[in-house]
Amino acid sequence: MKFLIINGPNLNLLGQREPEVYGREGYQALCERLKAFAAAHGSTAECFQSNHEGAIVDAIQAAQGVYDAIILNPGAYTHYSVAILDALKAVEVPCVEVHISNIHRREEFRHKSVTAPGCVGQITGLGLYGYEAAMGYFLDPRGKR
Ligand code: CA2
């Protein structure tokens, strides 16, 4: 499998602030770990992070025909980006949405994901493990493609 892991705004700050919510691991360390996880399963993973909505839309569009699966944490765009939803629906690459925190245990405005309907599923509240769980879904032969 060729994975594209997309992280949205502020996730480059992982490990630097709010460790009680987002953990202690830095963004680069997370990417290296996910690449190693992919390699251990005969796969590859590339990481992309942007604080800009259009750049995330571009990355999703460019994934068509290049990647087998997208793992996406849209950050705050989760809650209002119709542009990211439309991009997910425009490509045939399946996507699992990941949230480090449990968005349902947080403020009301975080409960709604605008982007999740463009994904095969959503993992929320499992911490940084959620990224591996999402990859595991695609790696497992029982995972629906
Ligand atoms: O729980 C998640 O993964 C979120 O997607 C994170 C977003 C938030 O807006 C969503 O509601 C839920 C925020 C990402 C901010 O990341 C930071 C990481 C470290 C320090 C500060 C912010």
Q: Residues 34-85: pLDDT tens digits?
A: 999 999 999 999 999 999 999 999 999 999 999 999 999 999 999 999 999 9
pTM reported for the whole predicted model: 0.97
Atom 7 in ligand 1: residue holding the nearest Cα = 75
Signed CA dihedral, 90, 93, 94, 100: sign only: negative
Question: Cα(113) to centroid of ligand 1, in Å?
Answer: 13
Per-residue pLDDT tens over the stretch 102-130? 999 999 999 999 999 999 999 999 999 99
Nearest to 3 by CA among 69, 93, 78, 47: 69
* Rounded Cα distance, 16 and 22, in Å: 9
Our answer on whether the CB atom of 123 is closer than 6 Å to any ligand 1 atom is no
Quote the pLDDT of residue 145: 53
Using DSSP, state whether 6 is helix, strand or coil.
Answer: strand
Atom 9 in ligand 1: residue holding the nearest Cα = 76
Best substitution site from 22, 73, 111 to test ligand 1's pocket, by max atoms within 8 Å of Cβ?
22
Residue 48's DSSP bridge partners are 6
Atom 13 in ligand 1: residue holding the nearest Cα = 75
- Within 13 A of 90's CA, how many CA atoms are on the CB side? 13
